Amino acid sequence: MSAALTGFQSSVLKPALDPLDLAHEYYVFAAAQVGEPAMTTLLNAYRAIKTQPAQQIADTLLETSSVSPSAQAQLAQSIVAMWYLGSWYVPGVLGGGGFAPPPLQVISSVAYTNGLVWRVMQSHPMGYSAFTFGYWSQQPAPLSSFGVNTGNGGGK
C-alpha cells in the first residue's frame, strides 16, 4: 500500500534484507497514533483494490479528486508524509501562514535520513550525504535511479 501511495518501489520501502525495518516502525507508530481499527480499515480498503495500477490506488485511497477528503484519506496523507519526511503529521492538521503544519515528532533519526523526499530531489538528506567531494558540480543520476516506481504494477 505504501508503495502505491508514495510512488516508490516496495523494494525501497521494504528491502528483502531490511535491518532498519522502517515499514514496521512506521506501522507501529501510526497505529499508536490513530488506533489499530483505523489502520485495519485503511488496509482493507487497499486490499479491495490492490490489483489496480499503483497510481489509481493512490488516487482512490487519497481521494485526490474529492473536495473534502475523509478521515481515512487524511490518515493516508499522514502515511505518505511519514515516508517522505520521516515525521508524523497529525491527520487533518493543515499548515498556514506560509509554512507546513508542525509535525508531532520526527519518528527517529533513521526515519529522518531515510525520508523519500531527498530521493525525489535526486539528492541526499541534509546532514547525511553518501556522495563524495565535488559531486555538486556534476549532474545527478536520473530520477529513475532513485527507486521511483515507474511501472504499473500494484503495490504490495
Taking the complex as a whole, the smallest distance from the CB of residue 22 to another protein amounts, in Å, to 14
Q: Which is nearer to another protein, 42 or 80 (CB)?
A: 80
Element (H, E) at 34: helix 22-34
Output phi, psi for 148, to 5 deg.
-70, 140
Element (H, E) at 83: helix 71-85
In the numeric block, the cell 480498503 is attached to 45
Taking the complex as a whole, the smallest distance from the CB of residue 24 to another protein amounts, in Å, to 19
Q: Which is nearer to another protein, 17 or 142 (CB)?
A: 142
- Residues in contact with another protein by CB under 8 A are 4-8, 54-55, 57-59, 61-64, 67, 69, 76-77, 80-81, 84-85, 87, 89, 93-106, 108-109, 112-113, 117-118, 120-124, 126-129, 131-140, 143, 148-150
Amino acid identity, position 93: V
Q: What is the largest CA-CA distance in the chain?
A: 49
Q: How far apart are CA 107 and CA 105, in angstroms?
A: 6
Q: How far apart are CA 34 and CA 57, in angstroms?
A: 22
Q: Which is nearer to another protein, 17 or 59 (CB)?
A: 59
Taking the complex as a whole, the smallest distance from the CB of residue 51 to another protein amounts, in Å, to 15
Taking the complex as a whole, the smallest distance from the CB of residue 90 to another protein amounts, in Å, to 9
Q: Which is nearer to another protein, 11 or 131 (CB)?
A: 131
